[in-house]
Structure 1
Amino acid sequence: MLSTAMLYFRETAKAGSLRRAAEQLGVAPSAISRQIAKLEGELQTALLDRRANRTTLTPAGELVLAHADQVLQNSEALRGALQELIGQPVGTVRIGSIEGMVSHFLANNLARFQKRHPQVKLQASVVGSRAVLEALQEGRIDIALAFNLPERHAFREHARLEQPLCAIVAPTHALARRRSVSFRELEGHRVALPDRSFQIRHLVDRIASKTQVSLDLVIETSTLDMAKGVVRNSDLITFLPRYAALHEVSNGDLCAVPLQERDFAATATSLLTMPGQRQSPASRALLEMLATSMGRYGSNAVPRSDSGNTRVQK
């Protein structure tokens, strides 16, 4: 466990200033300053370089922060191991996810998990696929949901949800009743697309380049919800896997028309952890729930065993 002084130092280092750390901890900045001064006195070295706009770590501070992070990680592992003895998951599970999996899949599963394990705290962050993978590699999250992994990667894949990319349109759109559509048929169509911070945008751009199709990009947005909302109320098209618009499609607000070019318009969302990273009982319970749910989410969902081999669904 961390002492109060060490805890205050860690929060200040993470926040980058005494003021922000005080806001997050709910204490006065002067109290944090006194505790850090006490810690520096005990260690007989300066830990923070206090400047006008930002507080940065000294080399000694970097070492102490790494120690504090390790102590917290070990404490969490100890709590998990003790609770495993009595079969009761506790602690905190941190999950990072791409936006397309949040509104229906992840939100429903986290609510269900919390009802089953009310003593477990969940921290969920929604960022782009690249940022999710970086957070997993750096140990800032325990579980990741990422889009279209490269063929060679260093992650442990527990389940994968594979679906074709779809043209997402309003029910009144001319394409709404189609069973499928060729990307080449969309030449010149007006579209709303997520910006290039999304892997799905890069996929759409690659398909357009490969098919030599020119789309009329009239709205570019930093959220998938905005793209879906615009499409729902216009004749524009956006592109998503069906699961990313499942709630709207199920309610009849949008239609998902699969692209015919499945050989290079396929999508896959993977449930990941880092190999060798010890998972707490709570984290393992959430992993199992998410993997099972992904297996039920569509006919192309592919659960994976611990060894990484595909399990055949019956």
Structure 2
Amino acid sequence: MRLHALQETAVRYFLEVVKTGSVKDAALKLNVAPSAVSRQVARLERELDTLLFERHARGMVPNAAGELLAAHAKRTQQDIERVAGDIAGLRGLRSGHVRVVSTEGFAFDFLPTLISRFRASYEGIRFHLEVGTPNEIPRRIRDGEADVGMTLSALAEPGIKVELRQPSPILAVMAQGHPLAAQRQLSLRQVVGYPLGLPSEESSIRQLLDISCGRQGLRYVPAMSSNHANALVSFAAAGGGSIAFYGELSIRTQLQSNALVAVPLKDREMNERYLEVQTLAGRSLPDAGKAFVRFLTEAIKETA
């Protein structure tokens, strides 16, 4: 085996095929011809004397050797980023790049506000924030696509370090003038008769709502459903007796501006949700990433 085959271009093209599942899609992402991607993958396989993918009609899936090479390449990329961050750290925390992935609720208001506050002290640090589903976030961290994840999780994820785990109860959210707005606590039995704005069936809110209503024999009919958090917040804020469901961090700005009221729910399932700040287990983040994780976890603890 000739290790000089593990050069930057070939491995970069290989990783893109792993990520996208096809030569054509990888070529589009890399802005090169599909033949160039195929040549680089074939060269790696020739030099390493082994196939790296299982070829299927619907795409390419890394085999055991491909998964081993992909894991090695991702670790190498992360080591380079860490060393670059450490070198920058010798000059003080003046530069760096932090990639954050989160569920939509946290990306709507809480994280952008927090990033702005962080950059007030470290203006040379750049951020990239993407939205993903709770299932996608740990995968993106394991695949090296993100440094820090903020998500709602119920199960332990392999290869993931949980920097912080904290309860994130679901609240009933409504306009100031709603008939239930003055209540200190509500039950779903009081709520389900009002027009409900609900997220998709795959969301943790919808799943816990269904479990709790099923246990109590309650039925509801969504007045509006959407996979967009802003739409449901606006639906509740518009009045008409509408109610949505959210965690406090997701709508903090609206609550501070008195546009909305958020009332705790007494039903036990609606209080069995947890937020997590996640990083890759065994990875030493660059200094910028470490500083932001500290800043993020402290900000969340302050809300408890």
TM-score with structure 2 length normalisation?
0.78
What secondary structure is seen at the aligned counterpart in 2 of 1:195?
Answer: coil
What displacement does 1:198 show?
A: 1.3
Query: Partner residue of 2:3?
Result: none
What displacement does 1:211 show?
A: 4.0
Residue 205 in structure 1 maps to residue 207 in structure 2: no
Q: For the Cα contact (< 8 Å) 2:78–2:144, is it kept in 1? A: no
Are the structure 2 counterparts of residues 187 and 198 from structure 1 closer, same or farther at C-alpha, using a change threshold of 3 Å?
closer
Q: Aligned partners of 1:176 and 1:124: how far apart in 2?
A: 34
What displacement does 1:262 show?
A: 6.5
Q: 2:137 aligns with which of 107, 111, 132?
A: 132
Q: Aligned partners of 2:116 and 2:51: how far apart in 1?
A: 44
What secondary structure is seen at the aligned counterpart in 2 of 1:249?
Answer: helix
Are the structure 2 counterparts of residues 206 and 97 from structure 1 closer, same or farther at C-alpha, using a change threshold of 3 Å?
same
Counterpart of 1:289 in structure 2: which amino acid? F
What displacement does 1:285 show?
A: 0.8
What secondary structure is seen at the aligned counterpart in 2 of 1:129?
Answer: coil
Q: Aligned partners of 2:51 and 2:7: how far apart in 1?
A: 19
Counterpart of 2:248 in structure 1: which amino acid? R
What secondary structure is seen at the aligned counterpart in 2 of 1:265?
Answer: helix
What displacement does 1:169 show?
A: 1.5
Q: Aligned partners of 1:86 and 1:187: how far apart in 2?
A: 57
What displacement does 1:50 show?
A: 6.3
Unaligned runs of 5+ in 2: 1-5
Query: Partner residue of 2:298?
Result: 292
Counterpart of 1:244 in structure 2: which amino acid? S
Q: 1:176 aligns with which of 161, 181, 194?
A: 181
Are the structure 2 counterparts of residues 101 and 62 from structure 1 closer, same or farther at C-alpha, using a change threshold of 3 Å?
closer
Q: For the Cα contact (< 8 Å) 1:192–1:230, is it kept in 2? A: yes
Are the structure 2 counterparts of residues 135 and 11 from structure 1 closer, same or farther at C-alpha, using a change threshold of 3 Å?
closer
Identity %: 28
What displacement does 1:111 show?
A: 3.4
What displacement does 1:284 show?
A: 0.6
Are the structure 2 counterparts of residues 25 and 190 from structure 1 closer, same or farther at C-alpha, using a change threshold of 3 Å?
same
What displacement does 1:72 show?
A: 1.5
The 5-angstrom pairing of residues 211-226 of structure 1 reads 211-226=216-231
Residue 106 in structure 1 maps to residue 121 in structure 2: no
What displacement does 1:286 show?
A: 0.9
Are the structure 2 counterparts of residues 132 and 12 from structure 1 closer, same or farther at C-alpha, using a change threshold of 3 Å?
closer
The 5-angstrom pairing of residues 1-314 of structure 1 reads 2-47=7-52, 54-57=59-62, 60-88=65-93, 91-114=96-119, 116-117=121-122, 119-136=124-141, 140-147=145-152, 149=154, 156-160=161-165, 162=167, 164-233=169-238, 234-259=240-265, 261=266, 264-266=269-271, 267-296=273-302, 298=303, 301=304
Q: Aligned partners of 2:56 and 2:100: how far apart in 1?
A: 34
What displacement does 1:4 show?
A: 1.9
Unaligned runs of 5+ in 1: 302-314
Q: Aligned partners of 1:104 and 1:42: how far apart in 2?
A: 49
Counterpart of 1:250 in structure 2: which amino acid? Q
What secondary structure is seen at the aligned counterpart in 2 of 1:291?
Answer: helix
Q: For the Cα contact (< 8 Å) 2:200–2:225, is it kept in 1? A: yes
TM-align CA RMSD: 3.4
**CA offsets 1:211-258 (integer angstroms, 9 cap, x no match):** 443323333322322322322334321221232222333334332222
TM-score with structure 1 length normalisation?
0.76
Q: Aligned partners of 1:63 and 1:159: how far apart in 2?
A: 30
Q: For the Cα contact (< 8 Å) 1:49–1:55, is it kept in 2? A: yes
What secondary structure is seen at the aligned counterpart in 2 of 1:125?
Answer: strand
Counterpart of 1:109 in structure 2: which amino acid? L
What secondary structure is seen at the aligned counterpart in 2 of 1:124?
Answer: strand
What secondary structure is seen at the aligned counterpart in 2 of 1:269?
Answer: strand
Q: Aligned partners of 1:28 and 1:216: how far apart in 2?
A: 50
